[in-house]
Amino acid sequence: MFLILAALALLLLSGLGALGLSAFSRKAACLAVAGIVLACLLGAVPVLRFFLNGQEVSFSLALHIPYAAFSVALDGLTAFFLLPILVLSALAAIYGLEYMESWVDKKSVGVSWFFFNLLIASMIVVVIARNAVLFLLAWEVMSVASYFLVTFEDERKEVQKAGMIYLAAMQMGTAFLLALFISLGQTSGSMNFDHFRDVSGHLASVIFVLAVIGFGVKAGFVPFHVWLPEAHPAAPSHVSALMSGVMIKMGIYGLMRILIFLGPPPVWWGGLLIAIGIVSGILGILFALAQQDLKRLLAYSSVENIGIIALGLGVGLLGMSAGIPIIAVLGWTGALWHVLNHACFKGLLFLGAGAVVHETGTREIDRLGGLLKKMPWTGGCFLTAAAAICGLPPLNGFIGEFLIYFAAFNGVAQESRVFLFSLGVMASLAMIGVLAVACFTKVFGTVFLGEPRTEYGLKAQEIKGLMLAPLLILAAGCAAIGVLSPLLVPIFSRVLPEVTGLSADIVQENLRRATGPMVFISASGAGIVLLGGMIAFFRRNLLKGRKVERSLTWDCGYAAPSPRMQYTASSFAQPLTGFFGALIRTRRQIVRPQGIFPKEASLATRTPDIFEQRFYRPVFERIYHAVLKLRFFQHGRLQFYILYILIALLALLIWKLK
């Protein structure tokens, strides 16, 4: 525990140092990044120690805040979530050092680094906290720190708007969490987590729903996802990588932590999570497919992946309520595995997208093209992550989804309700997978293949050294988690007994049943890699001594090829977005060509979020107009304000004494 606390102290100190040095942006950035990397290394020691010999540690310190105590501990769930936090934070920080270079002379980068350190520290405290007040404090610091990171370019209107949406969403989520912890605390008489055990009955259901909403806002469950597509494009890329890769998983962590406190789940809990998972997964990837902004697309894809995690959780809960250990174990393992995977490949995708934005200066997919020739390493890493996120073997994305499939297959043989839900899970997972392939084919094809569509990509160069290294490490991670998956199974046998309430033996026995197929998968994965290597080797051999020359991409029979002849991202996605038009409501503006020699014609499509357009905006506008009437009271006259206070005081006195 000492090492984690030391890491926290280091993060805060280096953050403060960066704040103090904000006049010297470069030094501030170096200090902050050095602090982060060192802190992550320090923090990783107890995590690894836990996974190697199961050593749980805890630490407690009384605080003067009522009901609060600085009680922290490291158990399976905490250690598991610390893993992506520590790794991705360090990598994103190293990447950010170079990425922020272009702002060094324009803005106070030190302040941004201070909040970056604060965000990492608060995430660590969120997962180690064992007291509700401490947890909520860290949760709020996390929201506020990330708000300031999102609004880094605060001179731009859309960034301000994104920041406001983000902050409002986070505050509303926290309101639900407050209600949740107060009701938990009232039943157990303490705000410490170890007193929360085994709440049951109606109260448990109320708490579960509060947790799904409160943590769902952070995680990005549909329909609470509206902040993601706004905040992620607005934030600097290393920040979006950290937020999407790790911070939204804090919602999943919170949900899992609360589920430990609640008694055996009724069937509908699993059903609710599965329903949320299906809706989030399918709508998330459909909206991603329709986006034209690279980072907005990745944000929607995060919604989809959170949906997959919710599916896994739902299947796990279903298995727990039906009393079938294998479904419970594999569902939870799938969800946890996908948490790890998503941190890996979504972090990589955002960093890759950041590199593209950094080099070209635009996020519009339809303006880019042909970047693979100019940025081969970035392109390769991006391709790896894209393949992984689509769930293609042998990369890591496949393993997580495979486990959820495997759990659902076990559910099909069961009684009717479990059967029905399992079938739904399999069907929707399959559909999500297909749409994800379409979506990332579109992104990679448009951005990296072909020819540059506009002048934006012409001057792009490969990113260098410190900025590229995190991408390579993450890409290697994607491949390693996929190919070496059987070796990682022991990690889960340490985490699962606590969250599922099953004994360690049952967990291990059920995990073993999945290990067999996983060995097969990694063997064939290794086979594929080997085959690829052999083909490359043969190609080199065959081409040896022959002349290899590069030519135009579009050079087969066209007299005057132009980059504008290429498929655009929108046209590539059109068959699918058209098919699901009823769900995603893409808007088009067409100026049709007219006459024999048409002069001008244009087509523009835009896909706004239906939940924002149809639900949140009207509701908030109503509220705004209702509240506007109260402006009558706020006229700026000091005298009247004091009168209000006086009237309130007198009314209270008279009410009390009457």
**Closest to another protein by CB, 65 or 646:** 646
Residue closer to another protein by CB (options 548, 638) is 638
φ/ψ of 569, rounded to 5, equals -60, -40
Write down the least CB distance from residue 506 to another protein, Å: 56
Q: Does 651 bind another protein (CB under 8 A)?
A: no
Site membership for another protein, residue 646 (CB under 8 A) = yes
List of E strands, 111-220: none
CB 611 to another protein: min, Å: 17
Cβ 649 to another protein, closest distance in Å? 8
Stretch that binds another protein, among 31-39, 442-450, 472-480, 630-638 (CB under 8 A): 630-638
**Nearest CB to another protein, comparing residues 560 and 657:** 657
In contact, 123 and 248? CB cutoff 8 Å: no
* 74: its two tokens: 């490291």
Sign of the torsion formed by the C-alpha atoms of 81, 509, 261 and 2: negative
Q: Which two tokens stand for residue 596?
A: 């024999």
Instruction: Please give the C-alpha separations between residue 305 and each of 54, 98, 212, 489, in angstroms, as whole numbers.
Output: 29, 28, 16, 21
Q: What is the largest CA-CA distance in the chain?
A: 104
Query: Which of the ranges 63-71, 114-122, 243-251, 625-633 carries the binding residues for another protein, by CB under 8 A?
Result: 625-633
Phi, psi dihedrals of residue 421, rounded to the nearest 5°:
-65, -40
Among 202, 592, 599, 625, binds another protein (CB under 8 A): 625
The rounded distance, in Å, linking the Cα atoms of 378 and 635 is: 56
Nearest to 29 by CA among 106, 92, 81, 96: 96
Q: Are 99 and 90 in contact (CB under 8 A)?
A: no
Count of residues for the chain? 658
Q: How far is the CB of 626 from another protein (least distance, A)?
A: 13
- Three-point CA angle 475, 476, 482, nearest 5°: 95
Question: How far is 491 from 375, CA to CA, in rounded Å?
Answer: 36
Task: Tell me if 231 sits within 8 A of 286, measured CB to CB.
Answer: no
SS3 131: strand
Nearest by Cα to 8 from 145, 135, 131, 128: 128
Q: How many residues bind another protein (CB under 8 A)?
A: 20
Q: How far is the CB of 646 from another protein (least distance, A)?
A: 5
For another protein, the binding residue among 157, 631, 633, 655 (CB under 8 A) is: 631
- Closer to another protein by CB, 550 or 635: give it: 635
648 binds another protein (CB under 8 A): no
- State the nearest-atom distance from the C-beta of 168 to another protein, in Å: 17
> Tokens 């070796």 sit at which residue?
487
| Cα–Cα dist 608/110, whole Å | 35
Examine residue 627 and tell whether it contacts another protein (CB under 8 A).
no
**Minimum CB separation from another protein for residue 587, in Å?**
15
Which residue stretch of 177-185, 401-409, 460-468, 650-658 sits at the interface with another protein (rule: CB under 8 A)? 650-658
Q: Which is nearer to another protein, 264 or 618 (CB)?
A: 618
- What is the x/- site pattern for another protein, positions 557-586, by CB under 8 A? ------------------------------
**Shortest Å, Cβ 586 to another protein:** 19
Of the two residues 202 and 631, which places its CB atom closer to another protein in the complex?
631
430 lines the binding site for another protein (CB under 8 A): no
271 to 21, 177, 317, 424, 429: CA distances (angstroms): 52, 22, 8, 10, 15
638 binds another protein (CB under 8 A): yes
Using DSSP, state whether 365 is helix, strand or coil.
Answer: helix
With a CB cutoff of 8 Å and minimum separation 6, the contacts of 643 are: none
Q: Which of 504, 523, 536, 643 binds another protein (CB under 8 A)?
A: 643
Neighbours of 489 (CB within 10 A): 17
Q: How far is the CB of 621 from another protein (least distance, A)?
A: 8
Q: Specify the stretch interacting with another protein by CB under 8 A; choose among 116-124, 357-365, 397-405, 646-654.
A: 646-654
Residue among 597 and 655 whose Cβ is closer to another protein: 655
Which of these, 635, 602, 643, 406, lies nearest to 513 by C-alpha position? 406
Q: Which is nearer to another protein, 526 or 646 (CB)?
A: 646
**Contacts (CB under 8 A) with another protein, residues 32-91:** none
Report the 10 Å Cβ neighbour count for 76.
21
Least distance to another protein, CB of residue 628, Å:
8
Q: At closest approach, how far in Å is the CB of 573 from another protein?
A: 27
Question: Which CB sits closer to another protein, 516 or 618?
Answer: 618
Q: At 14, give phi and psi (nearest 5°).
A: -65, -35
- CB of residue 616 vs another protein: minimum separation in angstroms? 13
Give the nearer residue to another protein in terms of CB position, either 48 or 650. 650
Tokens 């309430």 sit at which residue? 501
Considering only residues 595 to 624 of the shown chain, the ones binding another protein according to CB under 8 A are: 617, 621
Closer to another protein at the Cβ: 513 or 622?
A: 622
From 642, 648, 651, 652, residue interacting with another protein (rule: CB under 8 A): 642
220: left (phi over 0), alpha (psi -120 to 50) or beta: left
543 lies in the site for another protein, by CB under 8 A: no
- Which is closer to another protein, CB of 557 or CB of 636? 636
**Which tokens hold the place of 542?**
């065959």
Asked if residue 238 lies in contact with residue 93, where contact means CB atoms within 8 angstroms, the answer is yes
Q: How far is the CB of 618 from another protein (least distance, A)?
A: 11
- Minimum CB distance to another protein smaller for 547 or for 658: 658
The answer to whether 398 and 481 are in contact (CB under 8 A) is no
Note whether 637 binds another protein by CB under 8 A: yes
φ, ψ (nearest 5 deg) of residue 47: -65, -50
Nearer to another protein, 623 or 646 (CB): 646
Site membership for another protein, residue 541 (CB under 8 A): no
482 contacts 388 by C-beta, under 8 angstroms: yes
Q: Is 23 in the site for another protein (CB under 8 A)?
A: no
Residue 106 or residue 614: which is nearer to another protein going by CB? Answer: 614
Residue-wise DSSP of 236-263: -HHHHHHIIIIITHHHHHHHHHHHHHB-
Q: Does 654 bind another protein (CB under 8 A)?
A: yes
Angle at 302 between CA 384 and CA 146, to 5 degrees: 110
CB nearer another protein, residue 201 or residue 636: 636
User: Where in 517-646 does DSSP place strands (E)?
Assistant: 587-591, 602-606
Question: What is d(CA 352, CA 470) in angstroms, rounded to the nearest whole number?
Answer: 10
Q: Which residue in 102, 415, 640, 652 binds another protein (CB under 8 A)? A: 640
Contact between 650 and another protein by CB under 8 A: the answer reads yes
| Interface positions with another protein (CB under 8 A) | 617, 621, 625, 628, 631, 634-640, 642-643, 646, 650, 653-654, 657-658
